[in-house]
């Protein structure tokens, strides 16, 4: 599943939530939704080194708090393409991290760890900076 599709699903969910909140006279949620690391074989993705420190922090954040259930399963299309079917990552969990300061909701799949360590994926700079700023 691709970043844009995931964002669209969550934007629609936020809209439904907001309708409910407004009906009940409550404050609307107003976050920018940014999906990260839903890679697909027919799209280019950024590659590069990420620090161990970043990976460690991301793992800690992953293990903290609430993890979303599935929005469909994610398997690694790159491994499958390489005939590496057995070792493909497979996970359907997702995580939301909220950047309150910048009003952003980041969504990412558990597969992000596989993409980073096995395929050299490098997440966007803003996300890395946000993660590095957490847990200080
Ligand atoms: Zn893979």
The whole-number pLDDT of residue 80 equals: 87
Interval between CA 80 and ligand 1 midpoint (Å): 7
98-133 pLDDT, tens digit per residue, is 999 999 999 999 999 999 999 999 999 999 999 999
Interval between CA 35 and ligand 1 midpoint (Å): 19
Q: Report which of residues 65 and 44 the model is more confident about.
A: 44
Tokens 């309150």 belong to 100
Interval between CA 119 and ligand 1 midpoint (Å): 6
- 24: tokens are 């009940």
The whole-number pLDDT of residue 23 equals: 92
The whole-number pLDDT of residue 132 equals: 95
Interval between CA 42 and ligand 1 midpoint (Å): 14
Interval between CA 10 and ligand 1 midpoint (Å): 25
Taking a C-beta distance cutoff of 8 angstroms, is the pair 16, 88 a contact? no
- 96: tokens are 């939301």
Does 59 have pLDDT greater than 90? yes
| Long-range pairs of 3-7 with CB within 8 A, sequence gap ≥ 24 | 3/35, 3/36, 3/37, 3/38, 4/35, 5/38, 6/35, 6/38, 6/71, 6/107, 7/33, 7/34, 7/35, 7/107
Which of 31, 52, 53, 20 has the alpha carbon at shortest distance from 106? 31
User: Three-class SS of residue 61?
Assistant: helix
66-106 pLDDT, tens digit per residue, is 666 655 667 788 998 888 877 777 777 889 999 999 999 99
Interval between CA 26 and ligand 1 midpoint (Å): 43
Q: How far is CA 39 from CA 2, 49, 58, 63, 64, in A?
A: 6, 17, 18, 22, 24
Interval between CA 103 and ligand 1 midpoint (Å): 32
Which of 123, 118, 50, 43 has the alpha carbon at shortest distance from 88? 118
Does 65 have pLDDT greater than 80? no
Residue 3 banded pLDDT, cuts 50, 70, 90: confident
């Amino acid at each position: 599943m691709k970043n844009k599709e995931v964002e669209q699903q969550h934007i629609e969910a936020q809209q439904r939530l907001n309708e409910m909140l407004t009906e009940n006279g409550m404050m609307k949620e107003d976050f920018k939704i940014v999906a990260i690391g839903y890679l697909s074989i027919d799209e280019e993705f950024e590659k590069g080194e990420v620090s161990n420190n970043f990976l460690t922090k991301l793992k800690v954040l992953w293990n903290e708090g609430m993890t979303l259930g599935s929005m469909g399963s994610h398997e690694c299309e790159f491994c499958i393409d390489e005939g590496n079917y057995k070792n493909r990552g497979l996970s359907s969990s997702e995580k939301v991290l909220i950047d309150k300061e910048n009003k952003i909701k980041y969504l990412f799949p558990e597969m992000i760890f596989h993409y980073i360590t096995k395929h050299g994926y490098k997440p966007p700079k803003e996300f890395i900076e946000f993660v590095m700023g957490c847990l200080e």
